[in-house]
Amino acid sequence: MKKKNYRTIFLFGAAVLLLLGSVAGSSQAALTYYSENYSAQLKMDNIGVTLIENDDIVSARNYTGSGDKWDGDPNGELLTGMLGVDEKLILGKGYEERLSVRNSGTIEEYVRVMIYRYWEKDGTEGKLTDLSPDFIDLNLLRSQGWVQDMEASTRERIVLYYTKILPVGAETPEFSDFLRIDEAVAEAESEGQDGAGLVNDYDGIRFRLAVDVDAVQTHNAEDAIKSAWGIEVSVNEDGSLNLKGTEVERDE
């Protein structure tokens, strides 16, 4: 049996940490291989992805040769320009958050995006599981090739696939356009959602938003995507993907 060479799969992330009604801050997510088992089969060939926020580069990771030769900064920070100096976040207000992915490598690829959102209390590292991630409203644009994997998505994690080939140097359509913190978070936090008895002042409650991007080469795409992402796909004549047996949602 001939051994296949699956040549491209890596992951980088950009994350944000924002304190409601208080001080703005940020956190970073380092690049990692998506699968340690899969990485043993890798033969990377100048693959690269860049996360774009409001037309600016947030994070990038590009393979530039044999060995461990990379360029770009994978430790970007989201929402650094969301608030002005001494500006406080306003509940219910939509803040521009246009996100897309650019192929900054030298081969064609398919990309996947994973969005994480949850709540923390300032000064702790534990999640506030009784505050709904739904209050962190990142408005998704599931169209023009973007689909959401409903089976892999949870309330905290949203999984999106770009089903078209992303050519070298090209950029995907935006998969989000604004971020809004629902006003209902103040009432829910004050009352103690689900009887949890949380503190009465939402000042000091912070939300986390993180975006991870990874890529797979188009060569032997069906086998590579199955091994890397754990889903079955078929490839149409135009190179677009059909996700087999997976419930997906798209915006028409």
pLDDT at 40 over 90: no
Chain segment 87-114, per-residue pLDDT in tens: 888 888 999 999 999 999 888 999 999 9
DSSP code per residue over the chain: -PPP-B--EEEEEEEEEEETTS-EE--EEEEE-S-HHHHTTB---S-EEEEEETTEEEEEEEEEETTTEEES-S--BTTTTSS-TTPPP-TT-EEEEEEEEEE-SSS-EEEEEEEEEEEEETT--SB-TTS-GGGEEEEE---TTEEEETTT--SSEEEEEEEEEE-TT-BPPPSEEEEEE-THHHHHHHHTGGG----S--TTEEEEEEEEEEEEESTTHHHHHHHHHS--EEE-TTS-EEETT--EE---
At 200, list the tokens.
């009465």
Question: Over the stretch 124-179, which tens digit does the pLDDT of each residue have?
Answer: 667 878 788 999 999 999 999 999 999 999 999 999 999 999 999 999 999 999 99
* Whole-prediction pTM: 0.80
